[in-house]
Amino acid sequence: MRSHEISSSQIADVVNRHHRLPDRLLQILIELQEPSGWLPPATLTALADALGVSRAHVEGVAGFYSFLHTEPVGRYRLLFSDNIIEHQLGSRELMAALCSKLWVEPHKPSEDGLVSVSTTSCIGMGDQGPAMLANGRPVLRLSHQRINQIAELVRQQVPVSEWPEAFFHVDNNIHRRDAMLQLDLAPGAALQAALALGRAEWMRQMQLSNLRGRGGAGFTTAVKWMACADAPGADKVVVCNADEGEPGTFKDRVLLTTLADAVFEGMTLAAWAVGARQGLLYLRGEYRYLRPTLEAVLARRRSAGLLGRQILGKAGFDFDIEIHLGAGAYVCGEETALLESLEGKRGTPRIRPPFPVTRGYLGRPTVVNNVETLAKTCLIALEGGAAFAATGTAQSTGTKLLSISGDCARPGIYEYPFGVAIERVLEDCGASDTQAVQVGGAAGIMLASYEFHRRIAFEDVPTAGAFMVFDSSRDLFEVARNFVAFFAHESCGFCTPCRVGTSLLLKAMNKLADGHGAKTDLADIEWIDRLLKNASHCGLGSAAPNPVMDTLLKFRPAYERRLRSLDFAPAFNLDDALAAARRASGRDDAAAHFSADHAPR
């Protein structure tokens, strides 16, 4: 592994390119890891010296992000998306097949250092899975045939960049368009319109639109912008949250692919409203493949006078946008964790108040908006706030992009005015025999068939956009268990209830899955749910029990039929606990087993 060491001049190059700024630490780590796939201890030490920060801090940041490795990994890193929809499409079987073809154990690099096969949280390709990341690049529509090809390419050591293009082809799968997806924006047109209105009138149009945040929380955008505009401090910041990590969501990926100009123009419109000069787009590591095209769009906008100094000739309107990469941490979708990550730190959510609008990125007043929210501001600039508010419901104006995946004929992107009923969406996407729909991803809400009359809207069923369909053949306990595993994996570990509670919850769910559960475990699960909900530091922890609470309420038999005892069952498998002693002593007589332990009660 010595050959993979990163030379001090390489480190100096990267650090200098980032102006020796400690708040670029995450971006620097991502770049330094590029050549060898991991960050050797000596690299962390040298980097800490070069940046003038402590090595412990560097190690702390490097250890936080799933896509940064402080131990050797394979030269080919193949990560299967661990989304439940993809499980249902056979991703685990495909992963097992790939492991056996490559003679590797999952989650462990091969001895020759050639390849490691593992899983990663949902990569935002739920409509075209099963999918994997091959050295960071998404490979779609995996089948046994494709897995065979991949195994062969790895064995022959063909670089990922030379794999067949078809592997990497990402479909947009847009099946229903409304105002947003019908927009054919001439770059600068929305900005032109807003500038013509003047700053105060532009803000008034935003108020009239009653646009609310599309990231799930539904905070009124104009209120956020005004608070930032009014906050003391001249060096304001606009941040676009493109850390679309909610399992089952992929609409921001499609917006960034098809309407990047609208997203950047929305950021510029926000900058005009609040008086910001700096813009940052935080792109989740899984969407890194989009970066070159996004950079090209930014370059085009700069040369067209839509970014940079004196935008559209307006004196004093200076604004530019830079892209920062994430590195595999769902919690960074939480806006204050995202700010920490933008500052190059561990993605730990901050204490609020203060809110980002007064103290955000590097302590400066900051607007953080979702990709879809920002893109929608272009519609408001072009057609006015009242026109925007004319669609949707009174409390949820405009349209919403849904990312539909799972048991339906046509998964993909659907745009509806707010207020659309679940049953209408199911009909349109070709779902039949639907048992349940998970709206809003793992953190969202699971609806049973008797609730399909409910509507997508902040006042009824709010969502960041995920819409996962489960037909009657699906086991909803397994769905909840997958989500619990997701939260346990993604917990930042800052607060006690989430750090310990998500893992305890996963233990309890695994115990039930293994057929060792008892009624007392259900009581424990409900108690842990309550602690997570009440005591967690941020939305990740308080949402973590949602899938379990919903399924326990609406699909309780999925749990009950797994119980071995109506009373109590041991926390661990007693017979397995004797296995090591049996091996060491060579015993295998009846007394060397807890045979009764396997008998159903």
Helix ranges (DSSP H) in 70-160: 84-88, 91-102, 144-155
Told to check if 599 binds other proteins by CB under 8 A, we report: no
Residue type, 499: R
Q: What are phi and psi of 367, to 5 degrees?
A: -95, 125
The answer to the question of residue 571 lying near other proteins (CB under 8 A) is yes
Nearer to other proteins, 449 or 520 (CB): 520
Q: Which stretch binds other proteins (CB under 8 A): 37-45, 218-226, 423-431, 549-557?
A: 37-45
Q: Is 594 in the site for other proteins (CB under 8 A)?
A: yes
Query: Using the rule CB under 8 A, which residue among 351, 409, 473, 600 binds other proteins?
Result: 351
Q: Does the footprint of other proteins cover residue 157 (CB under 8 A)?
A: no
Binding-site member from 7, 54, 148, 157 for other proteins (CB under 8 A): 54
For other proteins, the closer CB: 197 or 578: 578
CA-to-CA dists, residue 326 to 124, 270, 396, 494, angstroms: 14, 22, 30, 19
Comparison of 25 and 431: residue with beta carbon closer to other proteins: 25
Residue 294, SS3?
Answer: helix
Q: Contact with other proteins (CB under 8 A): which of 329, 374, 437, 512?
A: 329
Q: Taking contact as CB under 8 A, which single stretch among the options 74-82, 202-210, 280-288, 535-543 is the one that binds other proteins?
A: 535-543
* Tokens 């960034």 sit on residue: 256
Taking the complex as a whole, the smallest distance from the CB of residue 174 to other proteins amounts, in Å, to 35
Using CB under 8 A as the binding criterion, the count of chain residues that bind other proteins stands at 65
Tell me if 42 contacts other proteins by CB under 8 A: yes
Q: Give the shortest CB-50-to-other proteins separation in angstroms.
A: 15
Q: Is 346 in the site for other proteins (CB under 8 A)?
A: yes
Binder of other proteins out of 112, 296, 514, 572 (CB under 8 A): 572
User: Is 235 an interacting residue with respect to other proteins (CB under 8 A)?
Assistant: no
Sole window of 408-416, 430-438, 456-464, 572-580 interacting with other proteins (rule: CB under 8 A): 572-580
DSSP for 377-407, written as a single string:
HHHHHHH-HHHHHTSB-SSSBSEEEEEEEES
With binding defined as CB under 8 A, does residue 45 bind other proteins?
Answer: yes
Write out the two tokens for 101.
């073809």
Determine contact, residues 268/307, Cβ cutoff 8 Å: yes
What are the φ and ψ backbone dihedral angles of 293, each rounded to 5 degrees?
A: -70, -35
- The number of beta carbons lying within 10 Å of the beta carbon of residue 256 is 25
Decide if residue 363 touches other proteins (CB under 8 A).
no
Q: Interface with other proteins includes 60 (CB under 8 A)?
A: yes
Q: Is residue 574 involved in binding other proteins (CB under 8 A)?
A: yes
What are the residues whose beta carbons fall under 8 Å from the beta carbon of 302, sequence distance 6 or more?
308, 320
Question: Rounded CA gap, 285 and 399, in Å?
Answer: 27
Shortest separation between residue 568's beta carbon and other proteins, angstroms: 4
* Residue 577 makes contact with other proteins by CB under 8 A: yes
List the one residue from 30, 62, 222, 262 that touches other proteins (CB under 8 A).
62
Instruction: Check binding of 332 to other proteins (CB under 8 A).
Output: no
Most distant CA atoms of the chain, gap in Å: 88
Q: Does residue number 67 form part of the binding site for other proteins (CB under 8 A)?
A: no
28 binds other proteins (CB under 8 A): no
- Residue 31 has phi, psi (to 5 degrees) of -70, -40
Check if the beta carbon of residue 87 is closer than 8 Å to that of residue 129.
Answer: no
Position among 190, 495, 512, 563 found at the interface with other proteins (CB under 8 A)? 495
DSSP H or E run through 467: strand 466-471
Residue 57 contacts other proteins per CB under 8 A: yes
- CA–CA separation, 68 vs 71, rounded Å? 9
Bridge partners, 220 (sequence order): 212
| 535 lies in the site for other proteins, by CB under 8 A | yes
Of 477, 526, 485, 507, residue with least CA distance to 569: 507
Smallest gap from Cβ 79 to other proteins, in A, equals 17
What torsion, rounded to 10 degrees, do the Cα atoms 282, 287, 288, 291 define? -70
Please report whether residue 503 would count as binding other proteins according to CB under 8 A.
Answer: yes
> Can you tell me the distance from the alpha carbon of 582 to that of 580, in angstroms, rounded to the nearest whole number?
5
7 binds other proteins (CB under 8 A): no
Please provide the distance, in angstroms rounded to a whole number, between the alpha carbons at the two ends of the chain.
53
Q: Is 592 in the site for other proteins (CB under 8 A)?
A: yes
Q: Which residues contact 510 (CB under 8 A, 6 or more apart)?
A: 481
Residue indicated by tokens 């490691």: 116
Binding site for other proteins (CB under 8 A): 41-42, 44-45, 53-57, 59-60, 62-64, 329, 346, 351, 353, 488-497, 499-504, 507, 520, 524, 527, 530-531, 534-537, 567-568, 570-572, 574, 577-587, 589, 591-592, 594
